Structure 1
């Protein structure tokens, strides 16, 4: 019962943080991570639930700073850093969990290389598990790892995606047909960064459709807003 209640509170914290991120992306205004997570009046006040919510959202918790090129405040960086270090992946973690954590560390270093313990020297995780993935599985994994889809965000995962634009496009269409709006939004975010996407896909109209159908889910809205910003030419 207690575990169920914790899961519910975490889901609510994640939803609240994601909604704040969507608003910041849409407005282009300042985003204060330290003031957006529950129980956080500064880096030292952020409780375990707040930090866990940041860890679930992953590198996208800093997305407004990355896409709008607005320097984050020191206490925002400190909260982000605490979330990175509070929840390292265990030794038996899935590849997506390892990559998600690596993306957070890379984002932290990208925003402030002087941060103590930014762990920017860690080797990039391997992505061999994606090399022979079916196009369905590839799209699923890329959607989970959508925070890696940022301008100038080179990684082994991004290189796999760049080599298979048609497969990602097929996966996007499949997700739309299956009404899996979150997967479609994540795949769409990758597609705006890929070359040689089939023009017959109608990506812009597809993104608008996914946004309309998945509008009740802030996670979908976050991916779509990121895709629209990058498609419009936002670069870092």
Structure 2
């Protein structure tokens, strides 16, 4: 369909794909020599692009964080993210938008009705959006800009067997929605929960792969790669997993970015 005929949601989705392609191009730049040299006007030139900047969140800075490129307030990404927070404050974006219009409870897993994993409830939405916004704000603060978002007050959940605790299926899907936090240099209760829950994340990744839900598999596997990069043992071999998703995961640039980030995290130690 012509771009002019697209709905606002479709424009956001297209803009997210374009922003992910740009991040991939920067990440794949030889030696990272050209990282962050694009003028600010090339990012966030439209409302849809500003929404895409907010949706991509901390992943917008993944090339810098993975390449060890110094962060500073003049970075095109930093300027665009600060502007995007002004145009789209946290309360104006829903969890569906921040997860690329993926509704809660997909893949035949029903989210609980209450608690921090209930992404179909106000509390669950606030928790997911809050952590993703915190991650983007935290990277912004490392660029030398004032922090904009505090971390959520709710403790990060952990999968369990007791009533009221999330199952490993629910928890791994929740962690998939928080995949933009799986980048170097960030740490939070969510990261600590991931480090303690690598076996559950491994089961969630395998389940998604068996269901050919490669998008979710790549997002969960990023947490496995981050844990491995920090010296923990991954329950799965990540190199063939990411290669399979890269070959069969479809044309989505967002999924390709998840795969490339995961590959880069796992590269040094996945042998």
- Structure 2: distance between partners of 1:87 and 1:96: 16
The alpha carbon displacement at 1:63 in A equals 1.2
The alpha carbon displacement at 1:203 in A equals 2.2
For 1:210-221, what aligned pairs fall within 5 Å after superposition?
A: 210-221=245-256
The answer on whether the counterparts of 1:81 and 1:118 sit within 8 Å (CA) in structure 2 is no
The alpha carbon displacement at 1:142 in A equals 1.2
Of the three residues 222, 225, 233, the one matched with 1:189 is 222
SS of alignment partner, residue 17 of structure 1: helix
Of the three residues 167, 185, 193, the one matched with 2:200 is 167
The answer on whether the counterparts of 2:173 and 2:216 sit within 8 Å (CA) in structure 1 is yes
Residue of structure 1 equivalent to 2:118: none
- Structure 1: distance between partners of 2:151 and 2:207: 34
Residue of structure 1 equivalent to 2:87: 86
Of the three residues 147, 158, 175, the one matched with 1:142 is 175
RMSD value over aligned CA atoms?
Answer: 2.6
Residue of structure 1 equivalent to 2:113: none
Residue of structure 1 equivalent to 2:129: 97
Deviations 1:5-24 (A, max 9, x none): 21221111111111111122
- Structure 2: distance between partners of 1:42 and 1:196: 40
TM (norm. structure 1) is 0.83
The answer on whether the counterparts of 1:126 and 1:156 sit within 8 Å (CA) in structure 2 is no
Question: Hey, which of these two has a bigger chunk of helix by percent?
Answer: 1
TM (norm. structure 2) is 0.73
Residue of structure 2 equivalent to 1:127: 155
Residue of structure 1 equivalent to 2:55: 56
- Structure 1: distance between partners of 2:91 and 2:182: 24
Of the three residues 231, 235, 240, the one matched with 1:205 is 240
Distance 1:126 1:175, change over 3 A: same
Residue ranges of structure 2 left out of the alignment (5+ in a row): 93-121, 160-164
- Structure 2: distance between partners of 1:17 and 1:88: 19
SS of alignment partner, residue 179 of structure 1: coil
Distance 1:11 1:98, change over 3 A: same
- Structure 1: distance between partners of 2:154 and 2:175: 15
Deviations 1:147-167 (A, max 9, x none): 111223211111111111110
The alpha carbon displacement at 1:52 in A equals 0.5
Name which of structure 1's ranges 62-71 and 22-31 shifts more when overlaid on structure 2: 22-31
